[in-house]
Amino acid sequence: MSNNKKFLDKITSKTKIYLFIILVLIIMLCIYENKYIIPLTIIYIILLVYTFWTNGRKKDEFFKHIQELTFDVDSAAKNALINSPFPVIIVETDGNIVWKNNKFVKSFINTNINTYLEQIIKEIKQSIINENKKTFIQNIEIEDKTYQIIGEYVRSKENKKGEKIHTITLYFVDNTSESEMSKKYMDSRTCVGLILIDNYEEIAQRISAQELPQIIAAVEKQIYDWANKIEGLVIKKDRDSFVVIFEKKYLSQIEQEKFDILDTIKEIETSEKMAITLSIAVSEEGENNIEKYKASMASLDIALGRGGDQAVLKKDGNYVFFGGRSQEVEKRTKVKARIIAHALEELVTESKNVMIMGHVNGDIDSMGASLGMYRFARNLGKEAYVVSQTSDITLAGFMENLKSEPEYQTAIIDKNEALSKIDSETLLIIVDTHKKNYVEVPELLDETEKIVIIDHHRKSTDAIENASLLFHEVYASSAAELVIEILQYATQDIELTSYEVEALYGGIMVDTKDFTFKTGVRTFEAAAYLRKLGVDIIKVKKIFQMDLENYNIISDIVKNTELINGTIGIATYDEINKNAGIICAKAADELLTISDITASFVIGNDGNKTFISGRSVGDINVQLILEKMGGGGHITVAGAQIEEMSIQDAKNLVIEKIEEYLKEG
């Protein structure tokens, strides 16, 4: 039976049908005439044998033809590979070279090609294992040429250790001319920059009319000279601003020189000994010059929001900062505060209700500013709420006393209550922060488009966008100072409660370290305003009193401080404590009372994240250091929070960033 099956398999389907029909006819004929059985059977057998023989002969001829064709194709493929116009090599992922053509040998005879092959094989191996890919394409520079490497997976085998070894064919296609052409095109693309004289108004007010044209002419000459070095075109946009256009090929030169125009301008001497500073924004992103100009405008806002005297480069979707090491210059005029106050009144009046929130783990400055804005809204007859569900340990006593008052029991709400009360007609006021992910309840930002921001921290790249009103002044000591100026310029007299006055004064005290840091004329004017309202300074001081247990913890932290570069103190709080953030901040403040320390960093963990508090007397910009770790703040006061990092790893990272900062400086 099996032999018959094999026999039938060798016969084509059409022949099988014919044989079957003949067999049926023979059987029918034999039924009527028995005398035909033997001869017809013999004839049918002969027919079967002949069919089998002819079919087998045709198959043999077909297979022979296929073999000849395959041999011809293999020969052609081998010849094409051997005589290929570009280098070809067959390698195994353990580094063993199976074969290479003559072009490969000639092309890399004076090159240590093995170094490049190791890196290529490593990347291909990862591509095969991790991404399950059979092909690999990558550009690589070898000596003075650019090659496109095309890798093809051939097969795999196991070595004696049981490890899988892959065999790969690599084709080296010389892409040098195309690469040079592409680079030439990219280099010729334009970059658009904006230059602004930060303190033009102050210069114009304080310098005599005779000297001012000379000073401005000196500034303009330096700007034009700087642009000439990069073959750029400068257009004076306004009395204090310029547009500069240059080719992208000069961007790396500007980066290497770290926008040295910033320092050059500061060397211009004035009779009033005022330092002239610039803010610069440059963008290479955008399909056309209009888009690049808009990107530069947005970058310039960031530079100004960080205190000016710096350059911001928008490149590959990221912001790169240069300069920004000097203290912010206080603006003497209060015109902006008056305008903000009147605009805010209109926004409050047009809104159904008002909701105010500060940053997560709110401090006295955040709470003081919130209460000031609460009273501002209530004075205009609007329902107002302060969103507060987290606070540091120093606020515990104050918040307990505050909530004992009937009015504040309903005015201070948590996240769930806030989400139930907010809608598109609610005005949301953010105080003491401008970061999306640092507000008390980030979800509230999605519930309304009517947002006001009042903040004094240096601007970060993750700022809340599209605010209806922005009062962002980095020269200010605190958010409380800015809120006080708004209250002073309100069209109606605002009567603050004793709690609100104390919180506002406390906010200034905390952020200035008892009027030591970032204290300007307007800071004392704000404090004087609160003093006229009868603030009890002794009562405010009691808010910040520390218990003996926490004082001892801080003393131990200070005692175990290490010195870096002779003047930078770095310490760790190794116990997990829910109040680690505030303890680290107070320890960092305490370290600055030591004469030899000009900057301090203290690291702790609350069980969820690692906190880093940075403080400085002004010689070192702690904000620039902690910004490299995702933090922010001011030159003298800054902080950062890092998730999923141990205290020791965070300490090593801080040391690394300090060394980077010192090297850059």
Find the CATH number of the domain harbouring 169.
3.30.450.20
What mean pLDDT comes out for the span 623-651?
86
Say if 352 falls within a structural domain: yes
Say if 204 falls within a structural domain: no
Q: Which residue, of 79, 109, 139, is where some domain finishes?
A: 79
Amino acid identity at 521:
V
pLDDT band (50, 70, 90) for residue 90 = confident
CA distance 23 to 651: 95
| Residue of higher predicted confidence among 417 and 35 | 417
Lowest mean pLDDT segment, chosen from 51-55, 583-587, 627-631: 51-55
What mean pLDDT comes out for the span 388-409?
82
Say if 118 falls within a structural domain: yes
pLDDT higher than threshold 50 for residue 8:
no
Task: Read off the DSSP letter of residue 135.
Answer: E
Give the tokens for residue 489. 């310029």
CA distance 166 to 125: 8
Lowest mean pLDDT segment, chosen from 396-400, 443-447, 562-566, 586-590: 396-400
Cα–Cα distances in Å, from 585 out to 251, 537, 580? 39, 22, 9
State percent of the chain over pLDDT 90.
32
What mean pLDDT comes out for the span 136-157?
80
Residues 599 and 453 both lie in one domain: no
pLDDT value of position 1:
41
Residues 357 and 495 both lie in one domain: yes
Say if 203 falls within a structural domain: no
Is 89 buried (19+), middle (13-18) or exposed (0-12) by CB count in 10 A?
A: buried
pLDDT value of position 555:
92
pLDDT band (50, 70, 90) for residue 267 = confident
pLDDT value of position 325:
63
Residues 123 and 239 both lie in one domain: no
First to last CA, the chain: 93
Tens-place pLDDT, residues 192-224: 999 999 888 888 888 888 888 999 999 999 999
Find the CATH number of the domain harbouring 521.
3.90.1640.10
**Residues 120 and 89 sit within 8 Å (Cβ to Cβ):** no
State percent of the chain over pLDDT 70.
89
272 dihedral zone (left: phi>0; alpha: psi -120 to 50; beta): alpha
Say if 98 falls within a structural domain: yes
pLDDT band (50, 70, 90) for residue 333 = low
Q: Which residue, of 323, 356, 373, is where some domain finishes?
A: 323
Residues 515 and 536 both lie in one domain: yes
| Residue of higher predicted confidence among 561 and 324 | 561
**Residues 364 and 501 sit within 8 Å (Cβ to Cβ):** no
Say if 566 falls within a structural domain: yes
pLDDT band (50, 70, 90) for residue 310 = confident
Residues 567 and 658 both lie in one domain: yes
Number of structural domains the chain divides into = 5
Residues 255 and 142 both lie in one domain: no
pLDDT higher than threshold 70 for residue 74:
no
pLDDT value of position 5:
42
Say if 521 falls within a structural domain: yes
Lowest mean pLDDT segment, chosen from 70-74, 99-103, 449-453, 589-593: 70-74
Please report, to the nearest 10 degrees, the dihedral formed by the alpha carbons of residues 612, 615, 618, 621 taken in order.
0
Find the CATH number of the domain harbouring 640.
3.10.310.30
In what side-by-side order are the strands of the sheet with 135-142?
97-100, 88-92, 164-174, 145-158, 135-142
Containing structural domain, residue 43:
2-79
Residues 94 and 21 both lie in one domain: no
pLDDT band (50, 70, 90) for residue 64 = low
Residues 641 and 569 both lie in one domain: yes
Say if 191 falls within a structural domain: no
pLDDT higher than threshold 80 for residue 664:
no
Q: What are residue 230's phi and psi, to 5 degrees? A: -110, 20
Q: Which residue, of 294, 323, 352, is where some domain finishes?
A: 323
Residues 562 and 536 both lie in one domain: no
What mean pLDDT comes out for the span 23-48?
78
Residues 556 and 523 both lie in one domain: no
Closest CA to 583 of 572, 594, 592, 593: 572
pLDDT value of position 455:
92
Give the tokens for residue 360. 């997560």
pLDDT value of position 328:
56
What mean pLDDT comes out for the span 154-180?
79
Cα–Cα distances in Å, from 649 out to 591, 612, 643? 22, 12, 12
pLDDT value of position 10:
45
pLDDT value of position 235:
92
pLDDT value of position 6:
44
What integer best gives the mean pLDDT of the chain? 84
| Residue of higher predicted confidence among 17 and 227 | 227
Tens-place pLDDT, residues 245-255: 999 999 989 98
pLDDT value of position 66:
53
pLDDT value of position 374:
95
Tens-place pLDDT, residues 405-422: 899 999 999 999 999 999
Residues 406 and 367 both lie in one domain: yes
| Residue of higher predicted confidence among 491 and 135 | 491
231 dihedral zone (left: phi>0; alpha: psi -120 to 50; beta): left
Output the pTM of the full model.
0.62
Lowest mean pLDDT segment, chosen from 80-89, 276-285, 297-306, 499-508: 80-89
pLDDT value of position 520:
83
Residues 168 and 280 both lie in one domain: no
